[in-house]
Structure 1
Amino acid sequence: MARACIALLLTVALPAHALTFQTRMEEVEWSVEGDKFECRLTQPVSGYGDAVFVRRAGERPVFELKAWNNLMRPGQAQLYNDAPMWQPQARARLLGYTAVSDEQVAIRVPQQQAGQMLAGLASGLHPTIQRAAWANAVEPVRVVVSSIGYQQAWTDFQKCSAGLLPMNFDQISNSVVSFASGGTHLSASAKQLLDTALEYLQADEEITGIVLEGHSDNVGNRLDNRELARQRALAVRNYLVERGVAEELFSLRFHGDRYPVASNRSAEGRALNRRVNLKLEKS
């Protein structure tokens, strides 16, 4: 009974007529391109734009619809996996809603829904976006991503994804290196995190600066805590410099216990406050 209710909720009622943009079967093309930082799986949709699955290093894929001429009115669009005509027994399944903007990238679909779109493609379904048109047109606009040729494209996309770095710029730039109480030595987990950051630093030639901010909990006096914070920042810098990162890239700041991120009243909170924040800068 519960499954039947869920299936009913996921079934989407579609209007009989819509202005539909979909590439003809014999003209469907997929392309895969990328590098260590990002992979893109693209299908041009005739007359509308590019449907692109984007996977950044350290993340799952998202979906973008880049419109050459966006005919959808800004607002909430339906997102669903539609059944092709050669699967008459299948029914369209609603994946939720997504925002339409009037920018060149008209739609950005987050990871969970993008994963459902990819699963639909693997099952031979067509991910579809539907939204009212501009100027109060009677017919809504429907953009369809075809599953034709998807299997080979997915294999190529996986090969590209296998070469991605383990983390991206934003993730590395929000890294937190933790320390034991009163300690300034790097733990095994801290070194593992810095090794990952090092892999990124060696790959990205656009990095112009690395900011290290040392912190402590409130155990002890302020002068000692400030020195602890300094030693922790130095420990992180020295580890990276010894592995080839240019020393002139680093800027060190040490704050002691002035900027806690958690309450110092608990052991868990104090552990979170004993840290070095690593931030990256680009020109």
Structure 2
Amino acid sequence: MMLAKHLTLLSVSIAVSILPSTANTTKLYGTKPTESVWQVTIDTPVKCRVEHMILNFGNAMFTSRANKKINLDLELEMQRPMGQIEDVALLSMPAAWMPGESAEYIDRLHFYKQFNGYVDGQTAWSILAVLEDGRFPTFSFREWQNREKRLNVALSPVSFQQSYNEFNSCINRLLKYSFEDIAFTTLHYNKNGDTLNQSSIIKLAQIAEFIRYSPDINLVFFATYTDNHGAKADNQRISERRAEELKDYFVELGLPKDRIGVEAFGERRPIAENESPIGRNKNRRIVISLGRSIT
């Protein structure tokens, strides 16, 4: 009875606000209040995700990733992708237990042919705010197979709050740097030693932390270099030893050996003159490159 009342109110409100008053022009996809489930499915320092199943339509996935800036996107994973580009009205719809409240316009979007629906930035945050207020964020667009029919896809706020709290806690624990920030990193050693300088130790720890929680990183490549102080053969051995030490470090983190590549160049390929301490410091370096699979 409650579901029927809710569906009626939702359909009527949308029809009044944006649709012509033609019977049987609207089909609603949503989830019964008794079956509404929100679940945090990813909770790591590099990615957070909360998901909601939309009965007979697909899945809504909010995702935030490690980055210098707080970010959010919503992917509306559809069982049947769009057959053509569609204009989409995004509305905030009142629940059945909100008598007298009306539909509110949020934004106008585009869903693209053969792609899932996608929303990011401020609009994605607005959708979460609508859910937290107990209202139904609703995507309304024409059915591409039947231009006389309009589809309304609603996210339910029922059982949302607890998972949303967990999702926010995950976002607060995200690393404050992204894959792009560490994908190509140069480290430097202290003079006359095998220890990295302080800033390089911090960078290496960041790379290790990111890799620990990122199974999609499929390659870590190290290139080690020395300055030309000392015998050339000795510098080559130093370079090789440093490369192997780094390899062992990442193997201990759990990275498979077949995903690690190393090359020791010794004093070859300097990037600065070796006549000055500053130049030699630049040449005593490790370059770490990360490769990532596309998912």
TM-score (norm 2): 0.61
Q: Give the whole-Å Cα distance in 1 for the aligned partners of 2:107 and 2:30.
A: 19
> Aligned to 2:111, what secondary structure does the other structure show?
strand
- Asked if the contact 1:175–1:279 (Cα under 8 Å) also holds between the matched residues in 2, the reply is yes
> What does 1:37-48 align with in structure 2 at a 5 Å threshold?
37-48=46-57
Among candidates 55, 63, 67, match of residue 64 of structure 2? 55
Which one-letter code corresponds to 2:61 in the other structure? V
Aligned pairs for 1:90-239 within 5 A: 90-103=102-115, 106-161=116-171, 170-171=179-180, 174-177=183-186, 188-204=198-214, 209-212=219-222
Structural RMSD (CA) = 4.5
Q: CA deviation at 1:138?
A: 0.9
Does 2:4 correspond to 1:34?
no
Higher CA-based Rg: 2
Moved more, 193-202 or 144-153: 193-202
Equivalent residue letter for 1:133: E
Asked if the contact 2:27–2:152 (Cα under 8 Å) also holds between the matched residues in 1, the reply is yes
- Label 1:74 to 1:162 Cα distance change in 2 as closer, same or farther (>3 A): same
Say which is worse superposed, 32-41 or 145-154, in terms of deviation.
32-41
Deviates more, 1:77-86 or 1:21-30: 77-86
TM-score (norm 1): 0.64
1:241-280 equivalences under 5 Å are 243=249, 245=251, 249-252=260-263, 276=287, 278-280=289-291
In structure 2, what residue type is equivalent to 1:278?
S
What's the CA shift for 1:157? 2.2
Aligned residue for 2:29?
A: 21
Higher mean C-alpha deviation, range 144-153 or range 90-99: 90-99
CA contact under 8 A between 1:73 and 1:131: conserved in structure 2? no
Any gaps of 5 or more consecutive residues in structure 1? 1-11, 216-222, 259-270
Give the distance between the partners of 1:30 and 1:62, measured in 2 at CA: 16
Moved more, 32-41 or 194-203: 32-41
- Cα shift readout 1:32-58 (whole Å, capped 9, x = no counterpart): 222535433121112211112123344
Deviation at 1:160, TM superposition (A): 4.4
**Paired residue for 2:6?**
none
Separation (CA, whole Å) in 1 of partners of 2:28 and 2:242: 56
Count of aligned residue pairs for this structure pair? 242
Q: Which moved more, 1:204-213 or 1:58-67?
A: 204-213
Distance (whole Å) between structure 1 residues aligned to residue 120 and residue 87 of structure 2: 14
- For 2:241 and 2:103, the matched residues in 1 are separated by 59
The SS at the match of 1:140 is strand
Report the Cα distance in structure 1 between the residues aligned to 2:143 and 2:125, rounded to whole angstroms.
Answer: 27
Q: Structure 1 46/61 Cα, relative in aligned 2: closer, same or farther at 3 Å?
A: same
Listed as ranges, the gaps of 5+ residues in structure 2 are: 1-15, 273-281
Give distance in 2, aligned partners of 1:276 and 1:142. 52
In 2, the alpha carbon distance for the partners of 1:189 and 1:87 equals 59
